[in-house]
Structures are given as structure tokens and as C-alpha cells.
Structure 1
């Protein structure tokens, strides 16, 4: 932690030396104060639209920066003044809203130093190469794009050094990826174009156009941020819904989702085969080994069942070792044939695992109850499930490892 603070302070001192050893402000004070206020205002507004993410114990924020245009217009000293005022504004705001990190002041010092150093280097390169690039088509924009890339890579390098000092860099590849792959080419182009337009309007004194670029950038960024937040909210809602409807052990749908889906299918009026199946003599597996082995058998059973189903079918874990299948868009004969095939597949499969440092192979069977019918108000799926469950127990009582089926359309019972 001390190394990190010393590093932040070193960057700040280097930035301070660069700023006050430069040729001072490149524009008159009146123009600079006007530019300073506009840049500060929109940077503060845009601050709320920045993307925040965490890397280890470090919070990192990413967003478009206007520093390049400002340093090219006012020089390193002008940028230092702007960065100091803007970063201290952010610091005070976070302290006031109680959202500041424990290292907030040190982070503020780091940000001032990092952005002043990287953009001052870009300033020197721009002064040196601008005439050369002017000889090429779009040379001004190409040079700005190169400088944006360079500034970003230097900034990423400074941050990787922070990771190294805090012991949070796991590999060289991780550092390389952070520097060179964390920002896309399109992001570089967006920053280059924005700063290029700002610099043109600054030099020509077109304050209305300058204000328009800032405003357009803010509106577009805010719209994108709102859309992203909406998508993120939906993804999180879908993820929590999936968690609520998924059985944690097997990954198939749970009883809650089964009740929900049955209620929905009650409205379809389609032919459905409801199958309730249960692992035979499952208690003896737990008693002979342990519950961890039993869980492996349940997982294997679920995976086997799922392998026979189509995208239109449903598989639910409706009890401990009991599962319910909803087989759709098949005839009664095809449904019976499929369930018999599943039963044979379970019987012929083996669960291989390690128990007490010994490889074991467990074979098991299952009993099935199938009720086939057309969904309607007089026979909702909840009642059909009860009938399928009774048929499953009938298979158990008749010797296990078999299918008991009823065609509700004809009241035909098959054993």
C-alpha cells in the first residue's frame, strides 16, 4: 500500500515538473478561463456516464477524455490546471456522497499525474510531427488517432505498474491484455475524432460549435449509457430468474418452474405426455456409499433423461431422485416408445466415480409412469401429473425398471 502511494506521488511530482517547466499557457488567460470552465463543466457531467469496473482491489473507471485537445490548445500547464480542478471536484463529490474509496485521495493524485504525463508526451509528439502528417491525406486525423492510442497504452502501462506494486498481476499475459486489449479501435477513433473537432473549434474560436460537440457527445453517451443499463438490468433479471427456476444440483428446471410451465401449458389444448420417473432403490445407494455418490447418480440420471429430449420438451426435477418430463408433439405410441427407450438407456448406463480413493461403477434402473392426454379445463396438467405419479408407483409395485402408461384419449392402460 505504501509503495502504491509513493508511486502515485511520484507521478504527480513528474506532472508538476512538466507543467511548470513548459512554456506556460499557450493562449491568453481570458480564453483559457472560458475553455477551462466549458471543459470542467462537461467533464463533470460526463463523469456520471463513465464505466466503472473492479480489477482486484482497484476500482477503474473508463470514459472518453478531452485532455488531448486541451493540452494541444493550452499546453501542459493548462492541462495540469484543468486536471487538478476536475479531479479535486470528483474527489469532493465522492466524499460528499460517501462513495469515495479508502484510497480516493491517492487515486486523485495518480489520475492527475498519469493524464498530465501521457498527454504532455502526446503534445510534444504532435508539435514535432504535425507538419510531416499534414503532407498526407487526413494526416491531422491519423496523427491524432496515433496519439490517442499511444496515450492509452502509456496510461495502461502506468496502471499495470500499480498492479505489480500491489501484487495483483498474475501473469505477463494479463498485463499485456490489460494494456493492449482493454480498449477497442472504435473507442480510440471516437476519442480522436472528438478531440480533433474540439481542437479545430478551439483554435478558430467557434464557441457555439465547441459547445455543440460537447453537448452531442453527452447526449449520445447518455443514450448509450441508458440503453446499456437497461440491457444490464434485463440480463441480471434473467439471470436471477434462471437461478430461481433452476435446480442447483442437476442444472435442469426445478419444481417452481414446473408449476409455472404447467399453468401455461394448460391454455394450449395440445396432446402431452406427462412422465414421472424415479430412481429405483436409491436409498440403498446412499446407504452403501454416501450422499455425495448419490448426488452423482442423480446428476447422471438427469443428464441421461435430458439427452433423449427435443427443444420442445421439458425436464423438471420434481423431488429428490424424482424427475418429471413433459413430452410434446408426439403420438401416444411414439411417446411410449421414447419412454421405453429412455428406461433401457438408464439401465444400460454406468456411473463411474471415485469413492474412498477407489474407482467404482454404479448401475441403476428407474421406474416410469406416463399419462398421455389432451390438455383441457376438466383435466389440467396438475391433475395429469398426479395420475402419472400414481402410474410410476404402479411400476414400482410391479417390480421396478418398467413403464406404466395410460392413454387418456382412449383410457387404455399399458404395462
Structure 2
């Protein structure tokens, strides 16, 4: 923690020294005050659209920066003044709204130092290479684009140095990821065009055009921000829904989702096979070994059932070792054959588990009840489930490892060994 503070203060101090050793503020003080207000206002406005990444105790900020145009027009000292005012304005606001992290005060030093140092290097590069690029078509824009890329890589390098300074173990791959940040060329292009236009309008003092660029940039960024928020909200909602509807042990859908889905399918008017299946003599497995081994058997049982299903079928864990299958888009005989294939696959399979420090092999069977019918107003999916459950108990009474079925279309009943 103290190392981080020392590094951040050192970076800020280095930025201050670089600013003071420069040629001072390059423009008239009245003009400088105007651009300071405009840049500060739109940077504050844009701040909430930025993306933050937290690594340990350090907050790292990703987002479009207007610093390049500012430093090219006002010089490193001008940028240092702007960055200091802007960063600490953000800190004061977040402190006032009680959103500030414990380390955010020193993070303001880090961000100020990083942005001033990297953009001071950009300032030197621009003035050193500007004349050479003037002879090239679109040379100004090519140079701006190259400088944006270089400053981004320098910013990533300061992050890596910080992590190493703090003694964090960082792989070469992770270091490269931090330096290059996985930013697309389109992102670099957006920063380049924005700063290139801003610098051009600053030189000509076209204040209306300058503000229009800021407004357009804000509108586009806000639009993307809202879209990303909507996508994030949907992903979180879908993830929450998946957690709410998924059995944590097997990954199958749980009883809550089964009730929801059966209610939906009750309006489908399609031919469906409802299968209820249960592991035979499961209590004996738990009694002979332990519940961890029993859980392993249930997991393997669910995985086997799932391996036979198509994309439109459903698997639900409807009880402890009981599962319900909803088989769709098959005729009656195809459904019976599939359930028998599942039964045979389970009978021939086995489960590898560990018990008392030894690997053991467990063989087991399962009993099945299948009710096949056309969903209609007379027999709901809930009723079909009850009938399939009763058929499963018939299989148990027949000696287990059986499939008992009923074709609701012709009311034909049989038991298959």
C-alpha cells in the first residue's frame, strides 16, 4: 500500500518537473482560461461514461481522452494544470457523493502523472515529426493516429511498472495485455479524429466547431454507453435467471423451471413424451458409501440423460435422484426407442468415484415412466407428469431397470424390460 502511494506521488512529481521544464503555457492566458473551462466541463460530463478496471489497490481508467489536443495547443504545463484540476474535481465530487474508493485520492495523483508524462512525450513527438509528415498525403492525421497509439502503449507500460513495483506477480502475457489493452483500431481512430479536429479548431479559435465536436462525441459515446449498459443488464438478468432455474449439482434445470416450462408447453398443442426416471436403490449407494459418492452418481446420471437429448428437449431435476425429461418432435415409437436406449446406456455404464482414499467403480440402473400424448385442453402437462410418475413406480414394482409407457393417443399400455 505504501509502495503504491510512493509510486503515484513519484509519477505526479515527475510530471510536475516535466511540465515546469517545458516552455510554459504556449497560448495567451485568456485563451488558456477559455479552453480550460471548456475541456474541464466536457471532461466532467464525459467522466461517467468512462470504464474503470480495478487491479489490486489501483483503479485504472479506460476511455477517450482529450489530452492530446490540449497539450499540442497549450503545452505540457498547460496540460498539467488542466489534469490536476480535472482529476481532483472528480475526486472531490466522488468524495462528496460518497462513491470514492479508499485509494482514490492517490489514484488522482497517478492518473495526473500518467496522462501528463505520456502526452508530454506525444507533444515532443508531434513537434519533432510534424514537418516530416507534412509532405505525406493525410500526413497530419497519420501522425496523430501514430501518436495516439504510442501514448496508449506508454500508459499501459506505466501500469505494468506499477504492478512490478508493488511486487505483484505478472506474466509476460498479462503484461502485454495491459500495455496493448485489447483496444481496437476503431477506438484509436475515434481518439485520433476527435483530438485532431479539436487541435485544428483550437488553432483557428473556432469555438463553435470546437464545442460541436465535444457535443457530437458526447452524444455518440452516451449512445454506446446506454447500449453497453442495456447489454450488461440483459446479461446479468440472464445470468441471474440461469442461476435461479439451474440445479447447482447437475447443471440440469430445476423444479422451478420445470413448472414454468410445463405451463408454457401446455399451450403448444404438440405431441410430447414426458419421462420420469429415478435411480434404482439409490439409498443403498448413500448407505454403503457417503453422500459425496451419491452426488457423483447423480451427476453422472444427469450427464448421461443429457447426452441423449436433442436441442429442443428438456431435462429437469425434479427431486433428489429423480429427473424428468420432456421429449419433443418424435413419434411414439421413436420416443420409446430413445428411452430404452437411455436405460441400456445407464445399465452398461459406471461411475468412477473416490471413497476412503481409493478409486471405486459403481454400477447402477434406473427405472423409467413414459407418457406420450398430444397436449390438449383435457390433459395438461402437469397431469401428464403425474401419469409419467405413476408409470415410473410401475417400473419399480416390475423389478426396476424397466421402462413403463402409455401412449395417450391410443391409450395403449405396456412394460419393456
Q: Work out whether the TM-score is over 0.5.
A: yes
* 1:191 match: 191
Give the deviation of 1:78 after TM superposition: 0.7
| Conserved 8 A contact 1:313-1:328 | yes
Secondary structure, counterpart of 1:257 in structure 2: helix
| Conserved 8 A contact 1:56-1:168 | no
Counterparts of 1:6-405 in structure 2, within 5 Å, are 6-405=6-405
| Distance (whole Å) between structure 2 residues aligned to residue 400 and residue 330 of structure 1 | 26
Secondary structure, counterpart of 1:352 in structure 2: strand
Secondary structure, counterpart of 2:371 in structure 1: strand
Moved more, 332-341 or 387-396: 332-341
Secondary structure, counterpart of 2:327 in structure 1: strand
| Distance (whole Å) between structure 2 residues aligned to residue 167 and residue 389 of structure 1 | 61
| Distance (whole Å) between structure 2 residues aligned to residue 25 and residue 53 of structure 1 | 33
Moved more, 311-320 or 153-162: 153-162
Give the deviation of 1:363 after TM superposition: 0.8
| Conserved 8 A contact 1:272-1:329 | yes
| Distance (whole Å) between structure 1 residues aligned to residue 365 and residue 374 of structure 2 | 29
| Conserved 8 A contact 2:52-2:62 | yes
Secondary structure, counterpart of 2:341 in structure 1: helix
| Distance (whole Å) between structure 2 residues aligned to residue 236 and residue 377 of structure 1 | 37
| Distance (whole Å) between structure 1 residues aligned to residue 185 and residue 56 of structure 2 | 25
Secondary structure, counterpart of 2:136 in structure 1: coil
Instruction: Count residues with an aligned counterpart.
Output: 415
| Distance (whole Å) between structure 1 residues aligned to residue 167 and residue 276 of structure 2 | 54
Secondary structure, counterpart of 2:170 in structure 1: coil
TM-score (norm 2): 0.97
Give the deviation of 1:182 after TM superposition: 3.4
| Distance (whole Å) between structure 1 residues aligned to residue 259 and residue 301 of structure 2 | 21
Secondary structure, counterpart of 2:274 in structure 1: strand
Give the deviation of 1:67 after TM superposition: 0.4
| Conserved 8 A contact 1:144-1:192 | yes
| Distance (whole Å) between structure 2 residues aligned to residue 387 and residue 101 of structure 1 | 59
| Distance (whole Å) between structure 2 residues aligned to residue 56 and residue 18 of structure 1 | 28
Give the deviation of 1:338 after TM superposition: 1.1
Secondary structure, counterpart of 2:168 in structure 1: coil
| Distance (whole Å) between structure 2 residues aligned to residue 340 and residue 68 of structure 1 | 70
| Distance (whole Å) between structure 1 residues aligned to residue 352 and residue 413 of structure 2 | 36
The one-character-per-residue Cα deviations of 1:266-303 (angstroms, maximum 9, x if unpaired) are 11111111110000001111111111111111111111
| Conserved 8 A contact 2:374-2:409 | yes
The one-character-per-residue Cα deviations of 1:285-330 (angstroms, maximum 9, x if unpaired) are 1111111111111111111111111111111110000000111121
Secondary structure, counterpart of 2:148 in structure 1: helix
| Conserved 8 A contact 1:371-1:387 | yes
The one-character-per-residue Cα deviations of 1:202-253 (angstroms, maximum 9, x if unpaired) are 0011111111000000000001101110111011001100111111011011
| Distance (whole Å) between structure 2 residues aligned to residue 290 and residue 298 of structure 1 | 13
CA RMSD in angstroms, aligned pairs only: 1.1
| Distance (whole Å) between structure 1 residues aligned to residue 181 and residue 33 of structure 2 | 37
Give the deviation of 1:158 after TM superposition: 1.1
Moved more, 123-132 or 17-26: 17-26
| Distance (whole Å) between structure 2 residues aligned to residue 69 and residue 155 of structure 1 | 17
Give the deviation of 1:125 after TM superposition: 1.1
| Distance (whole Å) between structure 1 residues aligned to residue 107 and residue 58 of structure 2 | 10
| Distance (whole Å) between structure 2 residues aligned to residue 354 and residue 111 of structure 1 | 53
| Distance (whole Å) between structure 1 residues aligned to residue 170 and residue 111 of structure 2 | 24
| Conserved 8 A contact 2:57-2:103 | no
The one-character-per-residue Cα deviations of 1:78-115 (angstroms, maximum 9, x if unpaired) are 10111111111101101101111111211111111111
| Conserved 8 A contact 1:169-1:175 | no
Give the deviation of 1:376 after TM superposition: 1.4
Give the deviation of 1:60 after TM superposition: 2.1
| Distance (whole Å) between structure 1 residues aligned to residue 8 and residue 61 of structure 2 | 17
Give the deviation of 1:184 after TM superposition: 2.3
The one-character-per-residue Cα deviations of 1:1-50 (angstroms, maximum 9, x if unpaired) are 11111111111111111112211111111111111111111000000110
Give the deviation of 1:356 after TM superposition: 2.2
| Distance (whole Å) between structure 2 residues aligned to residue 231 and residue 168 of structure 1 | 33
